[in-house]
A = this chain, B = another copy of it.
Amino acid sequence: MKSQQDDYQEKRSTHAPWRARLHEVIFEADTPAGKGFDVVLIGCILISVMTVMLDSIDLFRAQHGILLYRIEWIFTLLFTGEYILRLLCVGRPLKYAISFYGVIDLLAIIPTYVSLFLPGTQYLLVIRILRILRIFRVLKLATYLGEANLLAKALQASRRKIFVFLFTVFTLVVIFGSLMYVIEGGENGFTSIPRSIYWAIVTMTTVGYGDISPQTIVGQAFSSIVMILGYGIIAVPTGIVTVEMSQTFSRKVSTQTCLQCSAEGHDTDARYCKFCGAEL
């Protein structure tokens, strides 16, 4: 398998010069032009998301509806142009199109076009906020990405335990909800099993809207149990994630063994064995 560097060189050389130049500006943030492009892009994203939000407020739409509508279309056309340029200048358009950022870039423009046929969908444009994740690259926040990776790793390592936990919670809320439907009944707001399951979730997660709440003595006693259970089992995912993070974060001990005394457990920055003084 060829190294990424080679791959990149090759891509460069087979590209037309303008495509290589464009690629550098649009996809990278090393050159002043590239960085400037990304900064302008992030500004556009923020303004466009803000526009969508303001458009959803009745008072604003009534007064500035047409202006907001135009801004929306301008940004959509801009982002559409950018998307096409990205497809043109990248080495493998398909690979980009199905990558995380490629999909987000596409989803960020579709809703405006769809809203021509299906009014209301333009509010889905807020998905553009996801494009802002590029900010990490612009600001050269490699450290932040590293931290994010560590977190993702810890979560991934505990995904099976979390799945078992969620499966248990799901089973519990189905049973608790149904029991409450039988105990309280429709006259106290528990009008159906799905609605009672919704109540069980609201209660177990300790959200507690209060839009549905038990009225009978038995219902209150039973929901007390549900609450205490919900209050307590939050300890389980917390424990899982904490232990996993503790292991992921602390794997900084070198695997080197001292040639002299065979001692292990040296720090990664050690150059001499801390027990016998021999060079590592």
Contact = CB atoms under 8 A, between A and B. Distances in A.
Nearest to A146: B160
Given A147-B161, A181-B123, A243-B245, A205 B227 contact: yes
A148 interface: yes
Interface residues on A, range: 35 or more
Nearest to A122: B182
How many copies are assembled?
4
A245 B247 CA distance: 12
Contact of A126 (B154, B174, B204): B174
Contacts of A169: 228
A206 B204 CA distance: 10
Given A237-B235, A243-B249, A250-B247, A151 B175 contact: no
A192 interface: yes
A94 interface: no
A239 B236 contact: no
B272 A193 contact: no
A64 B127 CA distance: 40
18 contacts: A49-B174, A56-B194, A120-B182, A126-B175, A129-B174, A129-B175, A130-B175, A143-B160, A194-B217, A205-B206, A206-B206, A208-B210, A232-B237, A235-B238, A238-B241, A239-B242, A242-B246, A247-B250
